[in-house]
Amino acid sequence: MVDAEKIASKQKQISISEFFEKNKHFLGFDTPQRAIITAVKEAVDNSLDACEETRILPEIKVEINRVAGDSLELICQDNGPGIPRDSIENVFGKFLLGSRFHAIRQTRGQQGIGITGVVMYSQLTTGSKTSVVSKIESDSTAVYVDLGLDTRKNKATKSGERRDTWFENGEEINHGLKIRTVMKAKYQRGRRSVHQYLRMTSIVNPHATIKLIVRDKEGEIIEQGNWIRTTDRLPRVVKEIKPHPHGIQLGQLQRMLKEADERKLTSFLRHNFSGVSQRAAREILITSGLEESRTPARVKTDEAQSIITAFQMVKLLAPPTDCLSPIEEMLIKKGLSKAIDSRFASTVTRLPTVSQGNPFQIEVGLVFGGDLQADGPIEVLRFANRVPLMYQQGGCLLTKALESVNWKQYGLDHPGGKGLPKGPAAVLIHLASTNVQFTSEAKEAVADNEEVYEEIRKAMLEVGRGLRNHLKKSSQRKKAQEKFDLINIILPEISKKTSQLLGREEPDLSPVITKIMNAVFLEDEISWNKENKTTVCSITIYNYTARARAYTILAKWPEADGIFITDNPRGGRKETTGLWNWRLDTLDPGQSAEIRFSVSGLSKGDWTEADIFFRGNGEIIGATRIDEKLLDEMRKMDALAAAEAEHSESTGSSIEHLAERISESVEEIHREPSTSSEIIDVPEKEIFEPAPNTDWFGMEGGSE
């Protein structure tokens, strides 16, 4: 209950209901087809946000029924916290952009005009009221109320309010919200449909269960969807942060100065901005020529402007990035796999970074093969703060960044290197940010931003490399399989048949096999052990050469907190994070050896493709020679991360301070003279531009 009231009280109202009536085309209600998608979007976004804040695993049901000729009835129900009676009017009756508008934090809702728009559109097009049932846990009964809107006064009109116990299918509802509204709208199937919107939503909200039922006038179901949650892990609670000086404009600064309670400018700067230390606050004031003791409310316009200028000149800490809620690689993979049947998935969650004072983070997932259509452009799934973007694909920064990558290099058809690549693939791009900049009010295309663009490109290169490795591996595997078929099946048959035809003895084939293969082969397989819930990786190396071989075999594994190697009879040792090695001292001609290890802490399907590397003389078909230089870089990154972890433990400081120190330590490491206007990035994995025929770990192993 406390939660629900807290959310409601935070919301501040803005009077723009008349604005809506004039500008509904901006707001997603321009066509009857789009209106229903927008309405579902507003309702579902609210439900997901509310559930997330109150740590409830969302169950959302969307029902759409065609009523009269061009009207649809929309019913949305969730199991969220519900809305307290006294706040219902505010939530549904005014344009409330609430906490989203004044605080800086990643939420879904910042992209919509809110559920009020739905109430208003319904009233404008059909004259009907929106019925709301709301139940909060601390009340004994639910509130039933019908809402209309006085658009001129920006006020809700309530009618038929009553309290009752809420039953659905014979079960009492303890907390939740249900709205029912009728509006002029058309249900459309296909790429731009409610179904696609919810499918996309379910991909980036793997913790949510979403159901959709669409019925025609006769009550027949014409489309439905049931996306069940694939994880019980809710997105982490995002912190609200104070604005960062690099993202501040004059008007906003003046407003903040006016409303400030602080008596001195130094404390004003330290308390109201993120990334400003005592030292930095003093420097800002020195640079702008203002005295520390000045009262913020009395700062004049030209003085405020000089502060703005100083913001860009003084070295500042990056804003904290724990205000962002990435989906995270594993969950993207799960989300994608629940919606799309594919053979291969590669996902990347980049470390958060900052653009103009706004923290943001890029995530990319690529799926390939399986049921995906092989001809035509790939499917692009764009998301901003977990909200699907369905329109204006071409004009969107996310698409532009995707198109800028040379996909041919990664195994996709990319005619002329322009436009979308072609092939059986789908790419998900998620931009999480406290302030997503769109090209227009319609909020369907992300506006150009160099830092965001570069981050997306880097993420694309990573998944692209994953795809290339996968394709290379598939073709290597196919070739190896052919060789095995040749020596194990065809050759013995040739031997048998010739001997039969000629009435001679069968020859000894082992020297023939060595002649034919003349290589070391490696086969790997990842399987799921149901009994002890471990993922088993098995690697077999065959020596089909005429001399003994010795190798070190290295395998990548998804090392992380709570994920361990449990069974590893050959022992070996850790090479670096996520990379284990085993020595094979002698592998005689004609012999094979197996390495097998189990990993616990993963779910089925989390880890499906092994990356195997080797060190030693002579090539191995099916494995890649490890690049020692890259390995060194990885070890350095490891050491750096370890040093930082230790540092923070010893002082036990807050996250904001940690960010400060990370920035400093990065400075120390890089020893680069940086200009004061630069934003300091948190350390990130370095990106290595792929050289032709070079792997993440280096040179291609199999010569074939």
Partner 1 sequence: MSANGFTKEEVIDALHDIASEMHNRMTKGEPPRMTLPVRTKQNIAFDRKLGVYKYGKKKSTRDATSLGSARQLLRALHVTEFIEEMIDAGKSSTLREMYYISEGWGHGKFGSQNESNNLAEDLEIITKCMREDFKLRPEEDGARIIGNITFEERNRKGEWMRINCRDDVGDSGYGVPYNVEAEKLRLVDHDIEFIMAIETGGMFDRLVENGFDEDAKCALIHLKGQPARSTRRIIKRMNEEWNLPVLVFLDGDPWSYRIYASIAYGAIKTAHISEYLATPSAVYLGIRSGDIEAYDLPSDDLSSKDIQALKAELSDPRFSDSEWQDEINLMLEIGKKAEQQSLAKYGLDFVTDTYLPEKLRELGFTRL
In the complex with partner 1, which residue's Cβ is closer, 67 or 509? 509
Asked if 640 is part of the footprint of partner 1 (rule: CB under 8 A), the reply reads: no
**What is 392-443 written as a DSSP string?**
--TT-HHHHHHHTS-GGGGTSB-GGG-SS-BSSEEEEEEEEESSPPBSSTT-
In the complex with partner 1, which residue's Cβ is closer, 199 or 483? 483
Among the candidate windows 478-486, 601-609, 640-648, 675-683, which touches partner 1 by CB under 8 A? 478-486
**What is 671-704 written as a DSSP string?**
-----TTSPPPPP----PPPPTTB-SSSB-----
Segments in 28-68 forming alpha helices (H): 32-53
How many Å separate Cα 496 from the centre of its chain? Answer: 57
> Measuring CA to CA, which residue among 196, 212, 207 is closest to residue 381?
196
Provide the residue type at 21 as one letter: E
Among the candidate windows 219-227, 357-365, 396-404, 479-487, which touches partner 1 by CB under 8 A? 479-487
CA dist., res. 118 & res. 114, Å (int): 8
The nearest distance, CB 500 to partner 1, in angstroms, is: 8
In the complex with partner 1, which residue's Cβ is closer, 495 or 665? 495
Q: Are the beta carbons of 364 and 378 closer than 8 angstroms?
A: no
The nearest distance, CB 504 to partner 1, in angstroms, is: 6
In the complex with partner 1, which residue's Cβ is closer, 289 or 507? 507
In the complex with partner 1, which residue's Cβ is closer, 298 or 496? 496
The nearest distance, CB 573 to partner 1, in angstroms, is: 38
Footprint of partner 1 on 294-333 (CB under 8 A): none
Instruction: Rounding to the nearest 10 degrees, give the CA dihedral for residues 106, 110, 112, 117.
Output: 130
CA dist., res. 418 & res. 202, Å (int): 30
Q: Are the beta carbons of 459 and 360 closer than 8 angstroms?
A: no
The nearest distance, CB 185 to partner 1, in angstroms, is: 52
In the complex with partner 1, which residue's Cβ is closer, 257 or 480? 480
Answer for which of 491, 526, 637, 687 binds partner 1 (CB under 8 A) is 491
The nearest distance, CB 514 to partner 1, in angstroms, is: 8
Task: Return the DSSP state at 616.
Answer: E
The nearest distance, CB 521 to partner 1, in angstroms, is: 14
> Measuring CA to CA, which residue among 285, 277, 80 is closest to residue 175?
80
Q: Give helix 491-502 / helix 510-517 axis angle, nearest 10°.
A: 140
Site string for partner 1, 492-531 (x = CB under 8 A): -xxx-xxxxxx-x--xxx-xx--xx---------------
Specify which residues 77 forms β-bridges with: 61, 178
Q: Which residues of 431-458 are buried (b: 16+ CB within 10 A; e: fewer)?
A: bbbbbbbbeeebbbbbeebebbbbbbbb
Asked if 589 is part of the footprint of partner 1 (rule: CB under 8 A), the reply reads: no
The nearest distance, CB 631 to partner 1, in angstroms, is: 35
Answer for which of 168, 482, 585, 588 binds partner 1 (CB under 8 A) is 482
Asked if 486 is part of the footprint of partner 1 (rule: CB under 8 A), the reply reads: yes
Q: 82 — phi, psi (to 5°)?
A: 80, 170
Asked if 351 is part of the footprint of partner 1 (rule: CB under 8 A), the reply reads: no
Asked if 490 is part of the footprint of partner 1 (rule: CB under 8 A), the reply reads: yes
Among the candidate windows 101-109, 241-249, 426-434, 488-496, which touches partner 1 by CB under 8 A? 488-496
In the complex with partner 1, which residue's Cβ is closer, 153 or 496? 496
Asked if 485 is part of the footprint of partner 1 (rule: CB under 8 A), the reply reads: yes
The nearest distance, CB 63 to partner 1, in angstroms, is: 53
In the complex with partner 1, which residue's Cβ is closer, 546 or 669? 546
Asked if 546 is part of the footprint of partner 1 (rule: CB under 8 A), the reply reads: no
> Measuring CA to CA, which residue among 162, 142, 605 is closest to residue 347?
605
Task: Return the DSSP state at 455.
Answer: H
The nearest distance, CB 538 to partner 1, in angstroms, is: 24
Answer for which of 61, 315, 430, 483 binds partner 1 (CB under 8 A) is 483
Give residues in contact with partner 1 (CB under 8 A).
482-483, 485-486, 489-491, 493-495, 497-502, 504, 507-509, 511-512, 515-516
